[in-house]
Structure 1
Amino acid sequence: MRLLFDQNLSFMLCQMIADLFPDSSHVRSHGLSEAADRALWEFAKANGLAIVTQDVDFADMASLLGSPPKVIWLRTGNQTTAAIAALFRRHAQTIESFESDNGTACLEIY
């Protein structure tokens, strides 16, 4: 699964979990740091990326529009980048299963 990290998450996550989720990227690497949510949604959809966010707006869009793109909604509150990377490592199997689950558009991780 290729991930697109939202602006509220560190770009360093791409490197920190590259062994699990290669070819993932951050919105800033695409010049989308200030883009509207709908523009990010369309970009992720067009490029086969799952959106990783702490923003409820993307979860709401997934509920209304379905997938693609899929949304991984981090429900952890403010955490260090290292703690978020560790969260991805703990939930790697769940995330991989989510990729092939056609009936689910949003995965909430706590």
Structure 2
Amino acid sequence: MIACPECGEDGDLRRDEADIVCEGCSHRWSSASGVCASCGGTDLVKRPRPLTQFSRGTQLSIVGWVDVDCCVVCDADALDKAVAAGGPLPAGYIPAARERRPSGAASSDQ
């Protein structure tokens, strides 16, 4: 989920061409801004993340890949684990660059 970098609103947002507009505070920002939603940092890296679905009963299958922007500060734990393992981010991981996290919140280990 995307949140407004000014007021933190995450439900009352709309897309206006290449921008996102917060209906709550009228703040406007580029949807491709390359700025972390949690800390405002601009040092983002792309990392692959699998797209999964249940293909048969409880069998989870990888059906595709997506490159996601990760903040080198806020997503450091997940990035370090992925690089050390030589693999992608965990399937359900939502980067801090995309979804605002409260300051001091620990990353999910998903």
The TM-score, its normalising length taken from structure 2, stands at 0.27
Q: Which protein has the bigger helix share?
A: 1
Higher relative contact order (CA 8 A, sep 6+): 1
The TM-score, its normalising length taken from structure 1, stands at 0.27
Q: Which protein has the bigger strand share?
A: 2
Which structure's CA Rg is the greater one? 2
